[in-house]
Homo-oligomer: A and B are copies of this chain.
Amino acid sequence: MLENGIKQELAAVVGSSFLKDDKQTLVAHSYDGTPMLQALPDAVIYPGSTQEVAAIMKILNRHRIPLVSRGSGTNLCGGTVPVLGGVVMVMHRMNAILEVDMQNLTATVQPGIITKKFIEHVESLGLFYPPDPSSMSISTIGGNIAECSGGLRGLKYGTTKDYVLGLECVLASGEIIRTGGKLVKDVAGYDLTKLLIGSEGTLAIVTEATLKLVPPPKYKKTMLAMFSDLYDAARTVSKIIENRIIPATLEFMDNPTIRVVDDYAKLGLPLDMAAILLIEQDGDTETVERDIERISGICRDENATQISIAHTQEEALKLLTARRSAFTALARLRPTTILEDATVPRSKIADMVLEINRIAQKHDVTICTFGHAGDGNLHPTATTDARDQEEIHRVEAAFEEIFEAAIALGGTITGEHGVGLVKAPFLEWKVGSAGVEIMKNIKLAFDPLSLLNPGKMFAKQSRRRVVLERG
């Protein structure tokens, strides 16, 4: 619980209706999109402006109270669970689109804007903001920046970091800094903008972002290719890119995922296939038609059993639904769904999928795999039950081996979900002890009292636990 004096100070900044510490609000902000993690905050605060955020941070800094800033909490790494208590700052009131600059093709927004709402707004103006995380209909731009969110269009268009040109942030001290600007090029000092993206709220609180917009593609075409052999599908991914074609989307689903998705969405998918690739190309009409034709040829050469090309927007939407509904469909199977994020060089997709299947079998757990094959970014997803301690331990052991396998293949422990609580014990595997040391020093360079989202990114020790206990 916060002392009454501190509560009064905070309420004086935001107004008493925007500071809450009733049980219901605290519980609602004790967890996020990650299963099996929970910790109660001491209060929840809803700032309305950058100045309020700065004033709040000055108070918390003086009293050395931790702060967790968050948007919708859709992250899958325990990134917004307030493990050390303190104040949770919800950015939803700061949700304005401050400007769309049609001359410079930029937009300036507050962090609380819902990603999909922002995307629809810029599309209505004839522009395009590519990052499209699966959570986009509820996640916020601020959250996307904190986690450097990816999405289905990452292969061709990149991820959130490729679209943030400038930031306004509040430091742990309460000072306000501005980085970058409406500038395509800026090398004045270290690139704080890029450093802050994906820093999971541990370095500063983002209060405004200037985003790059691009001309929208004129035309789009969607296709599915089905494979009776997993290895054929994975090799096709490499072959497409080796042939110098970069599709907008190049997604993968394995057989268990196909079965679950079809049962959920009734799409009439062939249930005996080992894998499906969902491929989308966009751009100028001639380019798209030619690329889709060439991709079809490559799929056939690599033994695709069946190829479906969407001829209408409805057909395309149906094919996309197959992939977009994967997580939802899997989540229906059992009480607990753990969606992971191992990423490898794209040439290693086949090896990685085989490793995942071998490891799942070894530990007798159900793991369905889908993901952004073109990025080498797979989402092995365990359907399990948090109440079954013994099974959960087997799931943990399996994921630990999956991360090890990803690293061994030249990959990483997380491609787009972030480190947060869940991956903190494994960070050293990827970046080494000298790398962790440097990152801890950077954390202290911004936040010497470790007030911002404490307990995240860095494990107290290199534990070998994937799933943490209920806090």
Chain B residues whose C-beta falls within 8 Å of the C-beta of A417 in the assembled complex: 187
Q: Which A387-408 residues sit within 8 Å CB-CB of chain B?
A: none
Which residues of chain B come closer than 8 Å to A105, judged between CB atoms? 241-242
Question: Which residues of A, 116-138, contact B by the 8 Å Cβ criterion?
Answer: 126-127
A179 touches B (CB below 8 Å): yes
Q: At the interface, yes or no: A58 with Cβ under 8 Å from chain B? A: no
CB within 8 Å for A185 and B199 given contacts A432-B177, A435-B179, A445-B442: no
A103 and B241 contact, CB distance less than 8 A = yes
Residues of B within 8 A of A286 (CB): 284, 286-287
Selected interface stretch from A66-74, A81-89, A341-349: A341-349
Contact in complex: B148, A188 (CB < 8 Å): no
What are 30 A-B residue pairs whose CB atoms fall within 8 Å in the complex?
A101-B345, A101-B347, A103-B346, A104-B346, A148-B187, A155-B184, A161-B191, A162-B162, A178-B432, A181-B410, A183-B344, A183-B376, A185-B377, A186-B343, A187-B415, A188-B412, A188-B427, A188-B430, A189-B431, A189-B435, A189-B439, A190-B457, A191-B194, A192-B439, A194-B194, A214-B246, A286-B286, A438-B445, A441-B444, A441-B446
Cβ of A112 under 8 Å from chain B = no
Q: How many residues of A contact B (CB 8 A)?
A: 91
List A residues 161-184 near B (Cβ within 8 Å): 161-162, 171, 173, 175-179, 181-184
Residue of B nearest to A150 (CB): B185
A145: min CB distance to chain B, Å: 12
Task: For A444, give the chain B residue with the smallest CB separation.
Answer: B445
Contacts of A173 in B (CB 8 A): 434
Decide if A30 is an interface residue (CB 8 Å cutoff).
no
Is A423 part of the contact surface with B, judged by Cβ < 8 Å? yes
A445 contacts B435, C-beta separation under 8 Å: no
Q: How far is the CB of A309 from chain B (nearest CB, A)?
A: 20
What are the nearest 6 A-B pairs in CB distance?
A: A441-B445, A215-B244, A103-B347, A194-B194, A185-B415, A182-B345
**A187 touching B416, Cβ below 8 Å:** yes
A411 on the interface (CB 8 Å rule)? yes
Contacts of A434 in B (CB 8 A): 171, 173, 175-177
Q: Which residues of B contact A201 (CB under 8 A)?
A: none
A229-260: CB near B (< 8 Å → 1, else 0) gives 00000000010011011100000000000000
Give the distance in Å from the alpha carbon of A416 to the alpha carbon of B187 in the complex: 6
- How many chain copies does the complex carry? 2
A102 at the interface (CB under 8 A from B): yes
Confirm or deny: A159 has a beta carbon within 8 angstroms of a beta carbon on chain B. yes
Check: A147 CB closer than 8 A to any chain B CB: yes
Contacts of A197 in B (CB 8 A): 191
Q: Output the nearest chain B residue to A171 by Cβ-Cβ distance.
A: B434
A414 at the interface (CB under 8 A from B): yes
Chain B residue numbers with a CB within 8 Å of A41 are none
- Measured CA separation A106–B432 after assembly (Å): 23
A171 to B427, CA, bound (A): 19
Nearest B residue to A103, CB-CB: B347
Q: Which residue of B lies closest to A239 (CB)?
A: B103
Query: Is the CB of A195 closer than 8 A to any CB of chain B?
Result: yes
Q: How far is the CA of A188 from the CA of B216 in the complex (A)?
A: 31
Are B246 and A184 in contact, with the CB atoms below 8 A? no
In the complex, what distance in Å separates the CA atom of A287 from the CA atom of B103? Answer: 22
B183 with A343: CB separation less than 8 A:
yes
Q: Closest chain B residue to A180 by CB distance?
A: B412
Q: Tell me, yes or no, whether A365 is within 8 Å of chain B by CB.
A: no
The residue in A176, A192, A445, A457 that gathers the most chain B C-beta atoms within 10 A of its C-beta is A445
Q: Quick one: which of B159, B245, B438 contacts A192, CB cutoff 8 A? A: B438
Q: Is A198 an interface residue (CB 8 A)?
A: yes
**CB neighbours of A432 from chain B (8 A):** 177-178
B181 touches A411 (CB 8 A): yes
* Cα separation A42 to B351 with both chains bound (whole Å): 52
Chain B neighbourhood of A192, CB < 8 A = 431, 435, 438-439
Contacts of A179 in B (CB 8 A): 431, 435
Interface centre among A103, A127, A150, A438 (most CB of B within 10 A): A438
Contact of A238 among B103, B154, B238, B376 (CB under 8 A): B103
Taking the closest CB of chain B, its distance from the CB of A270, in whole angstroms, is 28
